[in-house]
C-alpha cells in the first residue's frame, strides 16, 4: 500500500466472506498523534491516532456500495446508493485494519436497509475484536426515486457573507485563483499537527471568521475544495460528502475559544487544545453528485448549545446552484486533547 493512498484507496472495502468485509483506516485521515505499528499484538502499547469521524463515515458509505454490489448485485436495476446514514461511535477507532459485519435488515425494490458493525482489536481484551461503531444505512437506486418534488423556498438565514459579484454571490474562480473574493478568504485550519484530517481539503470563510445566527448560537459558513493527499484535481463525490459533513475546523476553533474563556472564568489555564469526538451522526443525502464530482461545496454549520462537555451540530451542504446536497446532525463531546494524545491506555470516552 502506498504511503499516501488516494481517497479511493483510503476508503476501499474488501469482501472477506458472507456479510463480512475488511478495510484499512489510514493515519492521514486521523485526529490525534501517533504511529501505526504492523504488530497488532502491541496495539495497546502504542500511540495510534483516531480516524476522523467523517472519514470513517465515508468508509462506511463505501461499505454499503460494496455490500450491495457483492452480496445483492441483482437487487436493484441500477446501483443503490446511501440516502440515510445513522451511526453511533461507541469507542475510539484506530488507524489500521478494521473488520465490518453487515446484516440485511430489509431488502426492497425502492429502499433497502442494512445494519453494520465496525470491529477492531479490543484495548482491554487482547486477541479479541470489539465493536467500535454501529449503524443503519438505507440505500435506494436513483431509478426508483420517483414521486413529488416541490420547492420550499428555503435559503440559509441569515444570508452568507457577500462575494464580489453584483448579486452578492461569491466568484469561486476568483476565490480559487487569488484566495479571496469580497468578504471571503482562504482559511488556515487551527492545530493542523493535531487535526491531520483537515489537510485533505481547502477551506474558505468570511473575513472575521464565525458569525452569530439570528436566533443565537455559533454559526459557521465555508466553501470547500477537496484536496485528498494534496491532489489539486480532487473533486467532491458522494462518498467525499460523507467526510465533508464532519469537517468544520473553524467551528472547532470557535469551540476552543469558548472553552478557553470558560476555563479562564473558572481560574484555569485556557491554553489547552481540545478534542471533539463524535458520539452519534445522522446524514440525509438529498442530492446525488455527478460521477466525476464537483469542485466546490458550501457548508453552514450551526451549534445551539455547548453544555457539560457535550455539543450539538447541524450541517447543511449546498452546491454552487444553492441546491441542498446533504443534511447532517450530530452529538459530540468536548474533551481535552490530552485524551487523544499518547498511549491508547488512556480512559475510554
Predicted local distance difference test score (pLDDT) of residue 255: 62
Residue 329 and residue 308: Cα distance in Å, rounded? 19
Predicted local distance difference test score (pLDDT) of residue 212: 55
Integer angstrom CA distances of residue 277 from 238, 330, 336: 23, 10, 11
Cis geometry, peptide bond prior to residue 158 (ω within 30 degrees of 0): yes
CB 31 within 8 A of CB 275: yes
Beta strands in 29-188 (DSSP E): 30-31, 50-51, 80-89, 96-106, 112-121, 129-141, 180-181, 184-186
Residue 200 and residue 244: Cα distance in Å, rounded? 10
Could you read off the pLDDT of 293-337 as tens digits, one per residue? 999 999 999 988 888 888 899 999 999 999 999 999 999 988 765
Residue segments in the chain with a per-residue pLDDT below the cut of 70: 1-4, 32-48, 189-196, 209-217, 250-263, 265-266, 268-275, 336-349
Q: Dihedral (C-alpha) 273, 188, 257, 209: value to the nearest 10 degrees?
A: -170
Percent helix, percent strand, percent coil in the chain, to nearest 5: 20, 35, 40
Residue 166 and residue 169: Cα distance in Å, rounded? 7
Beta bridge partners of 253: none
Distance of CA 319 to the CA centre of its chain: 17
Write down the CATH number for the domain with range 7-143.
2.40.160.210
Residue 237 and residue 294: Cα distance in Å, rounded? 7
Closest CA to 249 of 338, 189, 292: 189
Closest CA to 291 of 232, 247, 244, 235: 235
Could you read off the pLDDT of 135-162 as tens digits, one per residue? 999 999 999 999 999 989 999 988 999 9
Show the cell assigned to 29. Answer: 485521515
CA atoms within 13 A on the CB side of 255: 29
Write down the CATH number for the domain with range 172-340.
2.40.160.210
Integer angstrom CA distances of residue 344 from 66, 121, 190, 246: 31, 12, 24, 23
CB 240 within 8 A of CB 8: no
- Backbone phi and psi for residue 59, each to the nearest 5 degrees, phi listed first: -65, -45
Show the cell assigned to 345. Answer: 491506555
Specify the domain boundaries for CATH 2.40.160.210 within the chain. 7-143, 172-340
Predicted local distance difference test score (pLDDT) of residue 142: 93
Residue 206 and residue 185: Cα distance in Å, rounded? 6
Predicted local distance difference test score (pLDDT) of residue 77: 85
pTM: 0.87
34: left (phi over 0), alpha (psi -120 to 50) or beta: left
Amino acid at each position: 500500500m502506498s504511503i499516501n493512498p488516494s481517497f479511493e484507496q483510503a476508503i476501499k472495502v474488501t469482501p472477506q466472506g458472507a456479510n463480512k468485509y475488511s478495510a484499512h483506516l489510514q493515519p492521514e485521515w486521523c485526529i490525534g498523534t501517533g504511529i501505526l505499528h504492523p504488530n497488532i499484538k502491541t496495539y495497546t502499547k502504542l500511540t495510534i491516532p483516531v480516524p476522523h469521524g467523517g472519514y470513517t463515515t465515508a468508509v462506511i458509505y463505501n461499505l454499503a456500495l460494496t455490500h450491495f454490489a457483492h452480496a445483492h448485485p441483482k437487487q436493484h436495476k441500477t446501483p443503490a446508493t446511501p440516502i440515510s446514514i445513522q451511526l453511533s461511535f461507541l469507542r475510539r477507532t484506530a488507524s489500521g485494519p478494521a473488520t465490518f459485519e453487515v446484516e440485511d435488515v430489509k431488502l426492497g425494490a425502492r429502499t433497502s436497509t442494512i445494519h453494520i458493525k465496525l470491529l477492531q482489536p479490543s484495548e482491554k481484551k487482547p486477541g479479541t475484536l470489539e465493536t467500535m461503531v454501529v449503524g443503519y444505512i438505507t440505500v435506494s437506486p436513483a431509478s426508483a426515486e420517483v414521486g413529488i418534488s416541490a420547492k420550499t423556498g428555503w435559503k440559509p438565514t441569515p444570508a452568507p457573507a457577500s462575494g464580489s459579484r453584483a448579486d452578492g454571490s461569491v466568484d469561486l474562480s476568483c476565490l480559487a485563483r487569488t484566495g479571496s473574493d469580497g468578504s471571503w478568504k482562504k482559511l488556515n485550519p487551527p492545530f493542523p499537527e493535531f487535526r491531520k484530517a483537515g489537510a485533505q481539503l481547502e477551506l474558505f470563510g468570511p473575513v472575521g471568521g464565525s458569525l452569530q445566527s439570528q436566533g443565537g448560537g455559533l454559526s459557521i459558513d465555508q466553501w470547500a475544495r477537496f484536496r485528498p493527499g494534496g491532489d489539486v484535481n480532487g473533486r467532491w463525490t458522494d462518498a467525499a460528502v460523507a467526510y465533508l459533513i464532519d469537517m468544520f475546523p473553524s467551528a472547532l476553533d470557535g469551540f476552543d475559544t469558548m472553552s478557553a474563556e470558560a476555563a479562564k472564568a473558572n481560574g484555569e489555564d485556557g491554553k489547552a487544545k481540545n478534542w471533539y469526538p463524535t458520539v452519534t451522526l445522522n446524514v440525509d443525502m438529498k442530492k446525488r453528485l455527478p460521477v466525476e464530482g464537483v469542485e466546490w461545496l458550501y457548508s453552514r454549520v450551526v451549534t445551539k448549545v455547548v453544555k457539560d462537555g457535550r455539543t450539538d451540530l447541524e450541517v447543511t451542504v449546498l452546491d454552487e446552484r444553492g441546491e441542498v446536497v446533504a443534511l447532517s446532525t450530530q452529538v459530540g463531546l468536548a474533551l481535552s486533547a490530552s485524551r487523544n494524545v499518547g498511549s491508547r491506555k488512556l480512559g475510554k470516552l
